[in-house]
Amino acid sequence: MNPPRVNRRGVAMMASAHLADDLYQGVVPALLPFLVAERGYSYAAVAGLTLAATVLSSVAQPAFGLLGDRKPIRWMIPAGMLTAGVGVALVGLASSYWLTWLLIALSGLGIAAFHPEAARAARQASGDSNRAMSVFALGGNAGFALGSLIATPLLLATGLRGTVLLVLPAAVMAAILFLALRTVLDGRAGKTTRHGLPVGDDDWPAFLKLTGIVIIRSVVFFGITSFVALYFIHDLATSQVIGGAALTVFLIAGACGTLIGGWVADRFGRLRSIRIGFAVAVPAIAGMLLSPTWPAAMIFVVITGVAIFMPFAVFVILGQDYLPHRIGTASGVTVGLAVSVGGLFTPVLGWLGDSFGLQVALAVLIVLPLIALGLTAFLKDPRHERRQPHDDAITRAADDGAL
């Protein structure tokens, strides 16, 4: 059976939507210094806003995914994005801390509502192409990075009241989605398109194993993003500019790694792509910590970024294949909840850094990819298992019935 053809317009539209939506995840951290400066919020208050923006959103994503599994709610894609934009836009007009907290939480819930249905739509457009799914994931990575790049200069020029202008990307993209999403994904009236959604039985044990691996990868990701700049500044004696550049380089390399991971998965297999990423991460992190100078360490930061991000899009599409009848739930867990749980381990790394130094704290991260690599031995690729002649005949019959 030939795999479904990639709907390039659909992939491009969903990647663009992902960029516009996750832009608001990047905006919130950029807002925090302005809230401290203009409203005198304490660091504890700022931490509460971060909690509202991230943890609540991530925990809510599986709930929205479960809702979508019961009855498709594709309209939630533009509606969730618009809610995210409106929540952030009104922060600058809020009169109290708790109203600010609620608005940021509202934005986080909008982001949570967007992701499960967007991942389902992206999978429909991508079919079995990991490379196409990695383009969708790349849109989110780019949006997160653009959030601070857009918000910081805007708020420097306008102050907090300028947040109202931040609704524009969501409003424009939501309007495009309301008008064109159905046609792009499903075809014009009177025509049909072949959906690329997976078929088969739900495999919860395999999905739970995958979730554990996603959490381990998330711990490594949060550990590096939280402490790599500080490591460069304090342990390698660089400036704050170089430290910030190390974080930026890691994220840019990660964007490239997302695409590389999709290409490797299509060419050599999905599990092999995941394993290569974890295997390369081990010497890359070690090289970063053992490098005597910051230029040498920066080279290993690049390799680490590529390696850590290689499995990201593959996790999403593999999780959907493990739960073909629960695609929204699978997407909500792999994109949201499991990533958030990984972030909860960051304070442990912070305690290790305070007690024994950042080099020791980051050295712990070398062990985690090895554990994840070992756990992949217990995973199987359901795509290979289903591609038997009998299964192909069933799949063709199902496709014919759907058409």
Question: What is the C-alpha to C-alpha distance for residues 315 and 333, in angstroms, rounded to an integer?
Answer: 10
- Assess whether 152 and 233 both reside in one domain: no
Which residue range forms the structural domain that includes residue 161? Answer: 8-186
Place of tokens 């594709």: 74
- The yes-or-no verdict on residue 287 having pLDDT over 90 is yes
Q: What is the pLDDT of residues 44-97, one digit of tens each?
A: 787 788 778 777 777 888 888 888 878 778 899 999 999 999 999 999 999 899
Identity of the amino acid at 41: Y
- Assess whether 167 and 252 both reside in one domain: no
Token readout for 262 is: 């999709």
Torsion of CA 269, 136, 222, 373, to 10 degrees: -10
Q: Is 396 a domain residue? A: no
In this predicted structure, what is the pLDDT of residue 207? 92
- Assess whether 234 and 352 both reside in one domain: yes
- Assess whether 136 and 246 both reside in one domain: no
Q: Quick check: 304 and 285 in contact, CB under 8 A? A: yes
Q: Which helix (H) or strand (E) holds 8?
A: helix 8-39
For Cα atoms 132, 185, 315, give the angle at the middle one, nearest 5 degrees: 35
Q: How many domains does the chain have?
A: 2
Q: How many CB atoms lie within 10 A of CB 364?
A: 18
- Assess whether 338 and 243 both reside in one domain: yes
The residue count of the chain comes to: 403
For the segment 157-176, the average pLDDT, to the nearest whole number, is 93
pTM above the 0.85 mark?
Answer: no
Q: Quick check: 288 and 182 in contact, CB under 8 A? A: no
- How far is residue 252 from each of residues 296, 319, 343, 349, measured CA to CA in Å? 17, 25, 20, 23
- Assess whether 177 and 34 both reside in one domain: yes
Q: Is 363 a domain residue? A: yes
Place of tokens 């909500």: 332
Using alpha carbons, select from 209, 250, 205 the residue that is nearest to residue 230: 250
Q: Is 191 a domain residue? A: no
- Assess whether 34 and 71 both reside in one domain: yes
- The yes-or-no verdict on residue 393 having pLDDT over 50 is no
- Assess whether 230 and 345 both reside in one domain: yes
Question: What is the C-alpha to C-alpha distance for residues 174 and 167, in angstroms, rounded to an integer?
Answer: 11
Which CATH number do you get for residue 47?
1.20.1250.20
Using alpha carbons, select from 1, 313, 299 the residue that is nearest to residue 130: 313
Q: Quick check: 218 and 339 in contact, CB under 8 A? A: yes
Token readout for 153 is: 């200069």
- The yes-or-no verdict on residue 38 having pLDDT over 50 is yes
In this predicted structure, what is the pLDDT of residue 385? 55
Q: What is the pLDDT of residues 337-347, one digit of tens each?
A: 776 777 678 77
- Assess whether 275 and 375 both reside in one domain: yes
Identity of the amino acid at 45: A
In this predicted structure, what is the pLDDT of residue 389? 40
Q: What is the pLDDT of residues 304-323, one digit of tens each?
A: 999 999 998 889 889 888 98
- The yes-or-no verdict on residue 240 having pLDDT over 80 is no
Question: What is the C-alpha to C-alpha distance for residues 270 and 274, in angstroms, rounded to an integer?
Answer: 6
In this predicted structure, what is the pLDDT of residue 332? 79
- Assess whether 181 and 232 both reside in one domain: no
Sign of CA dihedral 114, 341, 361, 281: negative
More confident residue, 104 or 66: 104
Output DSSP code: residue 75. Answer: T
- Assess whether 163 and 293 both reside in one domain: no
Terminal Cα-to-Cα distance of the chain (whole angstroms): 16
Of the pLDDT bands very low, low, confident and very high (cuts 50, 70, 90), residue 334 is confident
Q: Is 194 a domain residue? A: no
